[in-house]
Structure 1
Amino acid sequence: MTQPAGASDAPGPGALQPLLPSDPSQLAGYRLLGRLGAGGMGVVYLGRTDNGELAAVKVTHADQADQADFRARFRREVEAARRVVSPWAVPVLGADPDAPEPWMATAFVPGPSLGEAVRGHGPLPERSVRILGGAVARALAAVHAAGLVHRDVKPGNILLAVDGPRLIDFGIARVTGETGLTSVDMVVGTPGFLAPEQAEARAAEIGPAADVFALGCLLAFATTGRPPFGSGSLDALLYRTVHDEPDLAGLPDALLDLVRQCVAKRPAERPTAEEVAARLTEDTPGAAADWLPAPVVTTIAARSAAMLALPAIDATAPGVAPAAPPKPSRRGFLLLGAGAAVLAAGGGAYALVNSRRDKAGEDGKAPAPKVPDTWAIGLLADLSGPAKEIGQAQERGARLAVEQFNAIHKGKPFTLQLKVSDDRGDRGAALAAARRLTTDPAVVAVLGPTSDDTGQAALPAFDEAGLPLLTVSAGYNLLTLRDANTTVLRAIPNHIMAGTYLSFATTLLPQVRRPGVLQERTDDQYSWQYTGGIRFGFKQAGITPHFRVVPGRATDYRRIIGEMIDAGIDAYIHCGVRSTAVLAARALTELGFTGPKFTGQHVFGPAFLKEAGAAAEGWFVCAPVVDPVQRAADEKQKPADRKAVQDFLAAYRKRYGTDPAFYTGESFDVVNMVTAWLATSSAKGPLTRKGLWAALRAQKYTGAMGGYEFQPNGELKGVGTFIYGVENGAYKFIGGAPGYPNKPKTS
């Protein structure tokens, strides 16, 4: 079975779909029994000959066939597949590239792809991987002997059969050294399973070694269940492929060295496909199925039985005649009931008035709504999990703001409460924790979340309720940078902007010319976004950094950073979490590195100072928060601004008997921004959740910790990133990060 052009992973035969009215019933001697998959370029059908032989028949769309370059590519695919002679490559049974709708038939394999098998049943045992790798390596050796490069060796292009695996899909294969039908700057292949020379579109370097690199990635995936360069956005995968060390944790010793050699960055350092086959082959599957785990064999058996039970030809699916409406299910009833409940409560447009109403007067007119006695600010935070120090600081700041509001207003126009929901820093618990607040009709807005992960998981609850969510610590860009955001206001820069400002801060030091940037992937979204911002910032400054990427499981930081020092770095920037920054700090100290060291938000906090100890000295840490104590002592501020932070500091010390932690002051400010708007607007009539986000977004608010102004999409305007230096085991506030780079002077 080959994939339809444009499809990333065609469905397996277990997902056979009926023919559509527009589909042919026969093609070139094949009776078409159903659809195996479809993409933008064509359709793959399951076909059967008169003698019962099954085939995957790939047919291109007529509009594609009219394009001369597409027909040439299809012809090349047919020719490439026919040139490969191997028991482990799916053979071509017939083809006609010159037909009005070009088609090609290949032998049908009634088994799942490697990707389906691993996703459905978990990684394969070592023996299965060795047999799999040996067979695929021999198929690739045949490809290379035919003068071809496959260029798309991935789990979706390996089918598992009882008697062994099969390599499929020669749609982007090309003759070694050929570039005629592919742009020289076009990345061709599947990110995560392509070689660095493919990732950087170095066409002249793409040869058989690129397939061996992909084979190494394939073996790692089959053994561990995860791609060695992770997952995520296209740009992130391409970047890691070039700069990252593969994540090979979990590979048995017998496979580790071979896989590591296969995924070497330089093509010349990789073994040939023949060498891989020789090192992997201990036995062959023959005709037995015992080379695969039982659950995979069961899947193959079930699909084979389904193929045997197929009729002579399936009827096509009905045309445009409307299907009879299904009977209402209990699920549909429950969904309808939930929707009715939301409407009854007012949903996103719930009026912030008490559901109690005055009895109708003697004139019979409907009573006016009564203003509620109590409204609430919600707090969604990690109060007992990994980020509990930040969550607890946010709770204290929010509670102080609520208490001050009630003391000043004394129940007029209303009394305010703080309603708290602890998500424990657990992504799986975040949505339920959020809904405890969003379904409470008294809650007008919510402060939170503490972290990026819980924010992403909780976001649907706020979108459903139309309830504003204001965060002072979650910097993930897609909380706000998404279509029609009307939910989130971010009172700190997103991670991309924070990384940009960090790079600008680095340029304040004139000696920095070759900074080293380490991206470690424990928190992949944070580190990738931070690195992206840093890359942009240094580009603006005319500085070329040395980049290095490592898996989150990496622990040998002495070796990693030693290699960066050997590459000539004069500054070090850590894009990662606190635990790995501690490892980096110790390694830099042991190696005697004397250049400046920078890091960002996910490292900032007292735990880094405690865990790194003396190795933390001299680090610069950029964070989106201000130390209230140092801000109160800053005589350069305007008198009104300084008084505001001093009043906050005095009130906090009186309430809690200690100085506030980081993130407390910003939480205090954001809650005050909401309550100030409520107090001013309540006199103008009933308030609603609908429109509240837009009203808050339009504000220009100045609080104890500074000013807050937002862009139309809910992002913070301005820089909002601050620099701290570690001195004598404590953070010393240096100032705000610059909003533009200092370009190095040329001599």
Structure 2
Amino acid sequence: MSGRLLPTDPATIGGHRLLARLGAGGMGVVYLGRTEAGTLAAVKVIQAEYADEPDFRARFRREVEAARRVTSPWAVPVTGADPDAASPWLATAFVPGPSLEEAVARHGPLPVRSVRVLARMLAAALREVHAAGLVHRDVKPANVLLAVDGPRLIDFGIARATDETAITSTDLVVGTPGFLSPEQAAARGAALGPASDIFSLGCLLAYAASGRPPFGTGTPDALLYRTVHDEPDLAGIEAEENAADNEESGESEESEKDTAGTELLTLLHLCLAKDPADRPTAEQICTVLLVEDAVPEGGRLDWLPEDVVRAIADRSSEMLALPDIEPTVAEAPRDTEQASPGRRRLLLVSGAAVLMAAGGAAAWAALRDQDDPEAPAPRAGSWAIGVQADLSGAQRTAGEAQERGVRLAVEQFNSRKGKPFELTLKTADDGGSAGRAQTAARKLIQDTAVLAVLGPTNDETAHAVLGTYDEALLPLLCVSAGGLILTSQQYRSFVHCRPSDAAVAIPISIYLRKQKGVLRPGLLQDRTAQTYSTESASINATMLRRLGRPAYPRVIPASADGTDDIGPVIDDMLRAGIDSFVYAGYAQGAALVARRLATAGFEGPRLTPQAVIDPAFLEQAGDAAEGWLLTASFVDPSALPAAAAFTAAFRKRYGAAPGHYAAEAYDTVNLVLQELVKATKGGRPPKRQELLALLRRSRYQGITKEFSFEPEDGTFAGWGIFLHQVEGGRFRFLGAAPSEV
């Protein structure tokens, strides 16, 4: 995604007219530039303060030299550079597609065949890197861009020649934790060779196939330790492909596809060998380990799923449909009149022609179906609130509770006398699936009556559609999705109406700090819960250490039932003398832990964040669940005096008590209504973009909590964390969680 140029940005760099910002970091900015011949380029410009440092300028000069030495169709070529300029710059061919990291995060893991093709082409790129006498040293998903004709390896910023003395110190870890080789993680700089890149390639391919890094996520120290000492987590890669294939293919094809999955798994194990001598070379991957037909000879390269091809097409059309160059401080602002329809149509048709040649009908469909963010505001009397939720999948209970909370708020508003407008409710069921989420989002986006949307229900679907809502500038307000991945980049349309999962886990450490006699907490991270457990465990490990109560941490691998691993780990923690226990994971694992602790007679405080507030925990743990303390971002409105009227109205309307997030959804819609009423002028609502700005600046006291946001990115700025405890076989609401030590 590109961003607008700032007034302080230059107008040109090295003969490139700058059009937009592609990204910015601590050391420089990457711009989208256009040469006089009309060729687009990615232009990296180093900030002046770093350019004044001789060591840094030497490093940048080395990056330019390294990138120029690599010639491969799967590595982005250098098109120009000046490392000696006042502001050193490097230009490379512009690839409009998303990074592998972005594609997997938004659309899910790639099919086995796609990963095999990716492996062969990236291995071919590394073969040229190594043949040039270089080691890339930062092979990771963010450094691979996807195009319909294959991937592109980018960023040789820390690459160096194998026979060259490193500018960095030998005990400095260089690269990205989670995608480093063991020799990189151990800071053995002098020992880094081509085999290090092969290990990183294995990590990248495992991420592409599973959607998660093979050594988990968390603090850099934890990732480095696991890389050196733990085996990679490759669970489910082969099984997931087979399951998907079996739905769509007959028996005659299953054997071939099973073999493909097995070959990929074998390749991953070889690449991820701890000993560099046991890893294959890039040449061996290309010519021996992957079959010849992994990359088709001639014809169109059809290697990516359709939704990823659509994302590439959308990004391409965005870049090609730039009718004007944005003004900078070097020139006076141009007239704001839109480019003529003929000019815009010509650019889009040109983009479509390029994409059709490379990617076929799917790319054209993506261009044709784009939504116009400048769609007209709805006419008076046709205003609506949208709900995108899981109404038929595994989390339909939470999705239905939110939909009911929204519906009740809308009905109550419409029943008011003298209301300034009538409101309707539009729903879209995504089944809790990232694959269905885009369709549900587009249904609401294309309905011009919809002014804002509440949802989706879970992290996976929310992350899948954030970019889609961004393109339409339609406010998206989340009340249940809470992973930090939702704030991994700044979205223009996002309003997060709850604290993140990591923030929800913080009161656990604060609570333990307040307990007398608690000096050695045990902290168990269950990798079955993937990113959720990592976020919850990492924040508590950090907090407990800062509060003078360092935890005794243990990790158990992802498992279908966990029975083989939990018992010995719990016994070890008890032998270490822990006096309290924190579990980071899901309800089923928590039940196993609770039973084991109860059997051992452990009576210290037992705490866990909100994913364990699940009937499955009570059912599977039985009496062992009693006394467990849980933190959550939601309330039990039936036990909250401020929510008495809401609870009564909900029971009357639906004949049942409100479920989790029903009251939060109710509050969120009333927040939207507050801003709509204030912004209504002449019987017409504000535009979507105007409403979004109002929401991010708003403050609203609901029945569940006070809502406020960071105006820059829409993240939740309040507290809104609560305690629940298991008593008498049920979750009892205790009130606000402690926020101060």
Normalised to the residue count of structure 2, the TM-score between the two structures is 0.61
Corresponding residue of 1:589: 598
Corresponding residue of 1:401: 409
In the TM superposition, residue 454 of structure 1 has moved relative to its aligned partner by: 0.6
In the TM superposition, residue 184 of structure 1 has moved relative to its aligned partner by: 5.0
In the TM superposition, residue 451 of structure 1 has moved relative to its aligned partner by: 0.9
8 Å contact from structure 2 (residues 545, 551) kept in 1: no
Within 2, Cα distance between the matches of 1:611 and 1:151? 49
8 Å contact from structure 1 (residues 198, 210) kept in 2: no
In the TM superposition, residue 628 of structure 1 has moved relative to its aligned partner by: 1.0
After superposition, what is the alpha-carbon deviation per residue over 1:83-110, rounded to whole angstroms, capped at 9, x for unaligned?
A: xxxxxxxxxxxxxxxxxxxxxxxxxxxx
8 Å contact from structure 1 (residues 503, 538) kept in 2: yes
SS in 2 for 1:622: strand
Corresponding residue of 2:514: 508
1:499 paired residue among 495, 499, 505: 505
Q: What are the equivalent positions in structure 2 for 1:328-367 lying under 5 Å apart?
A: 329=352, 342=372, 346-347=374-375, 350-352=376-378, 354=379
Residues 697 and 172 (structure 1), Cα distance of their counterparts in 2 relative to 1, 3 Å cut: same
SS in 2 for 1:378: strand
Corresponding residue of 2:227: 241
SS in 2 for 1:377: strand
Residues 213 and 553 (structure 1), Cα distance of their counterparts in 2 relative to 1, 3 Å cut: farther
8 Å contact from structure 2 (residues 523, 541) kept in 1: no
Aligned length in residues: 549
Corresponding residue of 2:732: 732
8 Å contact from structure 1 (residues 427, 454) kept in 2: yes
1:542 paired residue among 548, 565, 588: 548
2:620 paired residue among 597, 602, 611: 611
In the TM superposition, residue 591 of structure 1 has moved relative to its aligned partner by: 3.9
Corresponding residue of 2:22: none
Aligned residue identity for 1:418: L
In the TM superposition, residue 604 of structure 1 has moved relative to its aligned partner by: 1.8
Q: Does 1:42 align with 2:66?
A: yes
The runs of 5 or more residues in structure 2 that have no matched partner are 1-40, 42-61, 86-111, 121-126, 128-134, 142-157, 239-260, 301-345, 357-362
2:572 paired residue among 563, 571, 576: 563
Within 2, Cα distance between the matches of 1:583 and 1:40? 55
Residues 620 and 222 (structure 1), Cα distance of their counterparts in 2 relative to 1, 3 Å cut: closer
Within 2, Cα distance between the matches of 1:223 and 1:672? 41
Corresponding residue of 2:587: 578
2:476 paired residue among 463, 469, 476: 469
Aligned residue identity for 2:736: G
Within 1, Cα distance between the matches of 2:709 and 2:630? 25
Aligned residue identity for 1:387: Q
The runs of 5 or more residues in structure 1 that have no matched partner are 1-19, 21-37, 48-55, 67-115, 125-135, 137-149, 157-168, 265-269, 303-323, 355-370, 633-641, 742-747
After superposition, what is the alpha-carbon deviation per residue over 1:609-631, rounded to whole angstroms, capped at 9, x for unaligned?
A: 22332232221111001111211
1:441 paired residue among 438, 448, 452: 448
Coordinate RMSD, CA, aligned: 5.4
Residues 594 and 208 (structure 1), Cα distance of their counterparts in 2 relative to 1, 3 Å cut: farther
Residues 467 and 196 (structure 1), Cα distance of their counterparts in 2 relative to 1, 3 Å cut: same
Residues 233 and 631 (structure 1), Cα distance of their counterparts in 2 relative to 1, 3 Å cut: closer
Corresponding residue of 2:116: 120
8 Å contact from structure 2 (residues 520, 551) kept in 1: yes
Corresponding residue of 1:532: 538
8 Å contact from structure 1 (residues 123, 224) kept in 2: no
In the TM superposition, residue 683 of structure 1 has moved relative to its aligned partner by: 5.4
| Structure of higher CA gyration radius | 1
SS in 2 for 1:659: coil
Normalised to the residue count of structure 1, the TM-score between the two structures is 0.60
Residues 664 and 427 (structure 1), Cα distance of their counterparts in 2 relative to 1, 3 Å cut: same
Aligned residue identity for 1:342: D
Q: What are the equivalent positions in structure 2 for 1:599-638 lying under 5 Å apart?
A: 599-632=608-641
After superposition, what is the alpha-carbon deviation per residue over 1:423-465, rounded to whole angstroms, capped at 9, x for unaligned?
A: 1110111111111112111111111111111111111232122
Residues 708 and 244 (structure 1), Cα distance of their counterparts in 2 relative to 1, 3 Å cut: farther
Corresponding residue of 1:88: none
Aligned residue identity for 2:116: G
Within 2, Cα distance between the matches of 1:262 and 1:674? 51
Corresponding residue of 2:107: none
In the TM superposition, residue 381 of structure 1 has moved relative to its aligned partner by: 0.8
Corresponding residue of 1:694: 693
Within 1, Cα distance between the matches of 2:468 and 2:691? 16
Within 1, Cα distance between the matches of 2:654 and 2:229? 48
Aligned residue identity for 1:594: E
Within 1, Cα distance between the matches of 2:704 and 2:640? 8
8 Å contact from structure 2 (residues 437, 464) kept in 1: yes
SS in 1 for 2:612: coil
Residues 233 and 470 (structure 1), Cα distance of their counterparts in 2 relative to 1, 3 Å cut: same
8 Å contact from structure 1 (residues 155, 218) kept in 2: no
1:295 paired residue among 279, 293, 296: 293
In the TM superposition, residue 508 of structure 1 has moved relative to its aligned partner by: 2.7
Within 2, Cα distance between the matches of 1:592 and 1:232? 33
In the TM superposition, residue 493 of structure 1 has moved relative to its aligned partner by: 0.5
Q: Does 1:379 align with 2:375?
A: no
Within 1, Cα distance between the matches of 2:577 and 2:612? 25
Higher relative helix content: 2
SS in 1 for 2:523: strand
After superposition, what is the alpha-carbon deviation per residue over 1:490-540, rounded to whole angstroms, capped at 9, x for unaligned?
A: 221012322323322332323322222222334433233323322332243
SS in 2 for 1:417: strand
Within 1, Cα distance between the matches of 2:471 and 2:82? 42
Q: What are the equivalent positions in structure 2 for 1:707-722 lying under 5 Å apart?
A: 707-712=706-711, 713-722=713-722
Q: What are the equivalent positions in structure 2 for 1:267-306 lying under 5 Å apart?
A: 293-295=291-293
After superposition, what is the alpha-carbon deviation per residue over 1:298-348, rounded to whole angstroms, capped at 9, x for unaligned?
A: 879x9xxxxxxxxxxxxxxxxxxxxx9995746798777656x737xx42x
Q: Does 1:451 align with 2:449?
A: no
Corresponding residue of 1:107: none
Corresponding residue of 1:662: 660
Aligned residue identity for 1:661: G
Corresponding residue of 1:25: none
Corresponding residue of 2:424: 417
Within 2, Cα distance between the matches of 1:327 and 1:491? 41
